[in-house]
Amino acid sequence: DSFHLKGSSLANGNLNLHSTVKRKLDGEKDYVFDKRLRYSVRQNESNCRFRDIVVRKEDGFTHILLSSQTSDNNALTPEIMKEVRRALCNASADDSKLLLLSAVGSVFCSGLDYSYLIGRLSNDRRKESTRIAEAIRDFVKAFIQFKKPIVVAINGPALGLGASILPLCDIVWASEKAWFQTPYATIRLTPAGCSSYTFPQILGVAL
């Protein structure tokens, strides 16, 4: 259940983290999002029931791929998290033996889409904040309550919530291009995805 967290190169106190990471992702050619691949995995009609993920029924397991068409680098919005929850719910009731989670493109998940979330807060801040908090809580709870084994294949960067949900899964398989970053303290956020509980168990309290 453990995975290696590489140290953050960001300076403490950098509040413009989202744009910094986005430039880093966009600037590295190996991490360019492959839209042609995203299109190819949607050729099967049954794969088109979701907008931002692809769900495939394979022999003995269910394969969920993050394939966001509405955010950059597979960033998570309440709508995308709801799709993942719905796919997990379906997989929990079918005859599959395990769940495989991966992503289309070169980035696994860049965490919460902060620019989207902040934009939504311009209307009714209290109502939208509650909706966002509930979406994150239900998203994380879906991983905790899923009773079948969850195997995750990390093909590239996993940031924020995209990294902190990994200890809630059973096996995490990372490619050589994978890297992990959870800069919650840097951007003054409470650690998400139960990472304040799981990370000390994996990394030790000091780290």
Q: Would you list the domain boundaries of the chain?
A: 53-203
Buried b (16+ CB within 10 A) or exposed e, 89-118: eebeeeebeebbbbbbbbbbbbbbbbebbe
Determine if the pTM surpasses 0.85: no
Given the candidates 3.90.226.10, 3.40.50.1000, 3.40.50.800, 3.40.50.720, the CATH classification of the domain at 53-203 is 3.90.226.10
Mapped onto helix, strand or coil, the DSSP state of residue 53 is strand
DSSP 108-176: SB--B-HHHHHHHTTS-HHHHHHHHHHHHHHHHHHHHH--S-EEEEE-SEEETHHHHTGGGSSEEEE-T
**Residue 188 has what pLDDT?**
79
Residue pLDDT tens, the chain, 207 long: 434 433 333 333 344 555 556 566 665 544 444 444 554 554 454 545 788 999 999 999 999 999 998 888 999 999 999 999 999 999 999 999 999 999 999 999 999 998 888 887 777 888 888 888 999 999 999 999 999 999 999 999 999 999 999 999 999 999 999 999 988 778 777 888 888 889 899 889 888
pLDDT for the residue numbered 12: 37
